[in-house]
Amino acid sequence: MFPVSLFCKFGWQRYTIFASQFGDLPLNYTLSRSKRRRTIGITIKQGKVRVAAPESVALHRIDSFVASKQDWITRHLQAQQTRLRDLPKRLWQHGETLFWLGQAMRLEVRPGHRNTIEAIDNTLQIRLSRRCTQPAAQTQKLVQQWFRQQAQHWLDTHLADMPAAIATPPAAWRIANYTAKWGACSAQKTLSFSWRLFAAPEWVVRYVVLHELCHLTHFNHSPAYWALVEHYDTDYREAERWLKQHGHSLLNDDYFSFSPH
Ligand SMILES: [Zn+2]
């Protein structure tokens, strides 16, 4: 299974990529360190290996721990890569469908004077300059810019009116480029959300915003925290289920598999 869930990793330090000798192939893994961790943990998500370790453990010990789990990692990577191959691949080209707040949007890619993107009805109209040599990459970039802009606008319009935000207002909110989490809440009370989340239906987006808003009161996932979430949204488990089922394709730009219904 894709262990996609909501991450609220307070106190985590920056991610760094290290390569360890892994059989014949170098293995890239993402390492995050935490003061609160007691053990080294490995997770595999979307075909990528992530390692979490206590701050005090030396890098060579982490490397050898990862190497000792070689068989397990290889098995899971292969299984996930097979599953990813079975999903429809997104090529960022004319005629493909994207979702914005659960609504299907058709990509229309045509030549133009310069690179632009505009939403008209249920289409995303993209114009690419004739000098553009990488149409797929440029299309992806324009779509990402559009999503970030629209997502920020959605937050600016809706977030402050949510009852949980009225009760406990955040200091600020912004759109981020997360690929492994939907949202985050910082100790400075700033909420951040992945622009990729906004492909999900609006009721799911609202739940994720609520999820982070409730962290302003409880910086954890304690029973008191979940009681607060439920106080504002009695159906929140349904949104959690939706994210578990569809989240992996939302977070992976190269694949696409969900239908919002
Ligand atoms: Zn959380």
Look at 43-52, 173-182, 223-232, 248-257 and tell me which has the smallest mean pLDDT. 248-257
CATH number at 97-251: 3.30.2010.10
Helices (H), 11-113: 59-68, 70-86
Predicted confidence at residue 45, as pLDDT, reads 76
Q: How far apart are the CA of 11 and the centre of ligand 1, in A?
A: 13
pLDDT at 5 over 70: no
Q: How far apart are the CA of 118 and the centre of ligand 1, in A?
A: 34
Q: How confident is the model at residue 243 (pLDDT cuts 50, 70, 90)?
A: confident
Residue with tokens 């492994």: 180
Q: How far apart are the CA of 218 and the centre of ligand 1, in A?
A: 9
pLDDT digits (tens, 9 = 90+) for 152-186: 999 999 999 999 999 999 999 999 998 878 898 98
Q: How far apart are the CA of 10 and the centre of ligand 1, in A?
A: 9
Q: What is the pTM of this model?
A: 0.72
Nearest Cα to 173, choosing from 150, 193, 154, 145?
193
Calculate the average pLDDT of the chain. 84
Predicted confidence at residue 258, as pLDDT, reads 56
Distances (CA, A) of 187 to 31, 68, 184: 21, 36, 10
Structure tokens at 109: 């890619």
Which secondary-structure segment (H or E) carries 147? Answer: helix 135-158
Q: How far apart are the CA of 160 and the centre of ligand 1, in A?
A: 19
Q: How far apart are the CA of 197 and the centre of ligand 1, in A?
A: 15
Q: How far apart are the CA of 28 and the centre of ligand 1, in A?
A: 27
Check: CB of residue 66 under 8 Å from CB of residue 51: yes
Q: How far apart are the CA of 25 and the centre of ligand 1, in A?
A: 35
The residue extents of the domains of the chain are: 16-86, 97-251
The single-letter DSSP state of residue 197 is G
pLDDT digits (tens, 9 = 90+) for 22-50: 455 567 777 888 888 888 988 887 677 88
| Range 232-248 average pLDDT | 89
pLDDT digits (tens, 9 = 90+) for 6-26: 444 433 333 444 444 445 556
Q: How far apart are the CA of 21 and the centre of ligand 1, in A?
A: 34
